[in-house]
Amino acid sequence: MTGRPGRTSRTGRGGGQASAGELLELVRSGRAVTRGALQQSTGLSRATVGHRLDRLFRAGWLREGAGGPVDSPLGGRPSITLEFDDSHAVVLAADLETRHARAAVLSLTGEILAEHSGTLVIQHGPDAVLGELGRWFAELLEKAGRRAAEVCGVGLAVPGPVDTETGRVVQPPIMPGWDGYDIRGRMARAFTEHTGAPPVPVLVDNDANLMAYGEQRTGHPDCSAFVLVKVSTGIGAGVVVDGSIYRGIDGGAGDIGHIRVGAEAQCRCGSYGCLAAVASGGAVARKLAESGVPAASGSDVRDLLASGHPEAAAVAREAGRMVGDVLATVVTLLNPGVLMIAGDLAGTPFLTGVRELLYQRALPRSTAHLDVVTSRLGERAGLIGAGALVVEHLYAPERVEERLLALGV
């Protein structure tokens, strides 16, 4: 979570500066975890801090922790620390791929409480897919021992460009029937249909964006420019700058799979010569199938690579070289500290190919402080990122004020 130390522009209930939401943000970020530290950070009086905190305690969002160190040389009682109470609610998250999906119940701090993965075909359309997800979520809540009333929101990762203002995908090449569909509304209805609970907020974002968000927050929180490239059925990139997802003006940032590389192959978007048409998991599978190796998808290629299949390794390495050529431009433009390769092809052969062309084509200055790595969270990255997106949205200072008022505290 990105912090805003010292901000005093927001007003809370009852007037004054530094709202209850901003106090909660200071506690959640660890920048101020005692009443005295909150007074010092915000300039509020002891009584006003106490009033703001009382609202958060009554909502069940804060709890008292252990006593902190005694700051005064004269001794005295240790300060009681404040903690975000992550037990008061849970988040639902799902990561959709073309033929497979993963769903989970998560705590507010990102711990997976229950998880399920299985076949879910994106081409069956949003109504059927989201309806089935509603059923999965109901079963997962029962498995986790949590009530539907405890769910504060749902996060969805989808394999296409998303207008985050509306939550609708925009001209997705591999999601037929989803263009402009009201994903938020259908998911909220499916949740209610299968759990009986009132609808909850639904947030939708691109899968590579949410994978990048989950990986950056979990493993590279100090990296101010982070790029993740997912190579599976298609190729997409997620970019996190200063702790926030960079989406461009309408959600199209990172769609590097449709950069033209001069090849003759036709892409699923209808154009010719796209990077995804020659270097994605699907493209590698087609090349292997043409040479007699049984492979129909990126997941088949992943299995072949895991078994050490030499021809699969050679084709994956060549695909990595083509992606590395494009990433040289990406790295020169963004100057990231971490470039992470994820997805079906994220193994040694592909990574070797990426490094060969990347370091050959990019300026030495652009790669001098660059770490090229593979995913740490693996298949859970999208889930972790989707859960974090919901939490950061619902517990942002301005949203906290709205929710506290709705709770009557």
Taking 80 as the threshold, does the pLDDT of residue 133 lie above it?
Answer: yes
Count the helices and strands in the chain (H runs, E runs). 14, 14
Percent of the chain at pLDDT > 90 equals 85
d(CA 138, CA 1): 29
Contact 239, 256 (CB under 8 A): no
Average pLDDT taken over every residue of the chain: 92
Confidence bin at 357 (pLDDT 50/70/90): very high
Nearest to 307 by CA among 288, 282, 322, 279: 288
DSSP 8-state code for residue 198: P
| Tokens (6 digits) for 248 | 């461009």
d(CA 344, CA 218): 21
d(CA 235, CA 270): 15
State the pLDDT at residue 13.
Answer: 38
d(CA 372, CA 341): 8
Residues 86-89: contacts with CB under 8 Å, at least 24 apart: 88/59, 88/60, 88/61, 88/150, 89/150, 89/151, 89/152
DSSP string, 97-153: -SSEEEEEEEETTS-EEEEEEEE--GGG-HHHHHHHHHHHHHHHHHHHT--GGGEEE
DSSP string, 222-277: T-SEEEEEEESSSEEEEEEETTEE---SSS-TT-GGGSB-S--PBPTTS-BSBHHH
Contact 334, 365 (CB under 8 A): no
State the pLDDT at residue 68.
Answer: 55
Q: Scanning the structure block, which residue is given the tokens 């402009």?
A: 180
Which pairing describes strands 80-84 and 90-96: parallel, antiparallel, or unpaired? unpaired
| Tokens (6 digits) for 258 | 């449709």
| Tokens (6 digits) for 30 | 């660890």
Nearest to 343 by CA among 223, 234, 225: 234
Q: Mean pLDDT across the stretch 110-136?
A: 97
SS3 content of the chain, % helix, strand, coil (to 5): 45, 20, 35
DSSP 8-state code for residue 380: G
Nearest to 45 by CA among 16, 21, 76, 68: 16
- Name the CA radius of gyration of the chain, rounded: 23
Taking 60 as the threshold, does the pLDDT of residue 91 lie above it?
Answer: yes
Q: Give pLDDT tens digits for 168-214.
A: 999 888 899 999 999 999 999 999 999 999 999 999 999 999 999 99
State the pLDDT at residue 259.
Answer: 95
- Least confident window among 77-86, 324-333, 341-350: 77-86
Taking 80 as the threshold, does the pLDDT of residue 311 lie above it?
Answer: yes
d(CA 13, CA 22): 12
Taking 90 as the threshold, does the pLDDT of residue 66 lie above it?
Answer: no
Q: Give pLDDT tens digits for 146-179.
A: 999 999 999 999 999 999 899 999 988 889 999 9
Q: Which residues of 69-94 are buried (b: 16+ CB within 10 A; e: fewer)?
A: eeeeeeeeeebebbebbbeebbbbbb
How far separated are the first and last CA of the chain, in Å rounded?
25
Q: Give pLDDT tens digits for 249-293.
A: 888 899 999 999 977 889 888 899 999 999 999 999 999 999 999
Residues 65-70: contacts with CB under 8 Å, at least 24 apart: 65/33, 68/33, 68/34
